[in-house]
Structure 1
Amino acid sequence: MRTFPIIRVVTKILIPYILLFAFYVQFHGDYGPGGGFQAGVIFASALILYGLVFGLESVKRVAPPVVIEKLMALGVLVYGMTGVLTLSLGGNFLDYAVLEHHFYPHLFPSGQHLGIFLVELGVGITVTSVMTMIFYTFAGRKKIV
């Protein structure tokens, strides 16, 4: 893509807006359409666009595969630990109602909002990292002759 400077410049302009939209979908997913899965795919699409235009090695410098592997585990851990927290507080798995009165109300949002936020955050992290790792795997394969 070195011979297409317009594509490179437009990509550099678009990526911040794509990431901003991903964060918007992530943090407003509990109020409207969207949430962790959609935000994760949008965020990963920015990384994939960067990799398609600037090369696989460039995107691996921005988001190293070792970090992506750890983020896959972290996202699942955030999701699972939210459920374990609700179990430890006496509710069912992912029963957000038990989060209502166990935290300081002036520091944290309501139980339902906090629970959904944590679950969607875990899903968003996991989806972003899995989609990015799938791109790394397919883009890094060698041609078989």
Structure 2
Amino acid sequence: MNRKFGTIILDTAFRYLVPFILVYGMYVLMHGEYSPGGGFQAGALFGIAVVLGRLIQGEEAMLNISGNTAIILAGIGTFIYGFIGVLTMLFNGNFLEYGAFPLNMAEADRHALGILGIEIGVTICVMATIIAIFDALTRREEW
């Protein structure tokens, strides 16, 4: 979407709505271990915030991530998820057994830190995938 779609009303509503979407996405990410939600839901919220920006403000949106950058970010998110799982195996634990981390803290804290790392990876991957799909659907073909 190269050109702006929004009017002054949509642009103003977008400027008031998106910060709340981003804050709620961060809340869902941080409290995903204890309450419903987590990486997938937070990634969907962050991805929709970027898509809304591109729909309403066009290419000059403040939260603009291109499709190629989104594909790279999806790979980075997948790498984070896999790296944390393999890291636990390197310290003589099973896959995603967070108690095997050699950190000087209680096992519950190591577990919470491991889950947060996994959810951050999933969040990045889901957000980037939504943006990449949106970019693929709205890309104009040059003839």
Q: Quick one: distance in 2 between partners of 1:66 and 1:143?
A: 17
Aligned AA (2:25): A
Match of 1:8 among 3, 7, 11: 11
Structure 2: any 5+ residue segments left out of the alignment? none
- Which residue matches 1:29? 32
Match of 2:42 among 39, 44, 48: 39
- Which residue matches 2:20? 17
Q: Quick one: distance in 1 between partners of 2:33 and 2:138?
A: 34
Change (3 A) 1:2 1:70: closer
Aligned AA (2:13): V
Structure 1: any 5+ residue segments left out of the alignment? none
- Which residue matches 2:90? 88
Q: Quick one: distance in 1 between partners of 2:69 and 2:108?
A: 30
Q: Quick one: distance in 1 between partners of 2:85 and 2:116?
A: 12
- Which residue matches 2:125? 126
Match of 2:51 among 48, 63, 66: 48
Change (3 A) 1:35 1:130: same
Aligned AA (1:132): I
Change (3 A) 1:125 1:89: same
Q: Could you list the per-position Cα deviations for residues 50-91 of structure 1 after superposition, in whole angstroms to 9, with x for gaps in the alignment?
A: 111112x23498323343222111101110000111100101
Q: RMSD between aligned alpha carbons?
A: 2.4
Query: Number of matched residues?
Result: 140
Normalised by the length of structure 1, the TM-score is 0.86
Q: Quick one: distance in 1 between partners of 2:142 and 2:67?
A: 21
Change (3 A) 1:118 1:35: same
Q: Percent identity?
A: 34
Q: For the Cα contact (< 8 Å) 2:43–2:122, is it kept in 1?
A: yes
Change (3 A) 1:2 1:80: closer
Change (3 A) 1:48 1:3: closer
Q: For the Cα contact (< 8 Å) 2:79–2:121, is it kept in 1?
A: yes
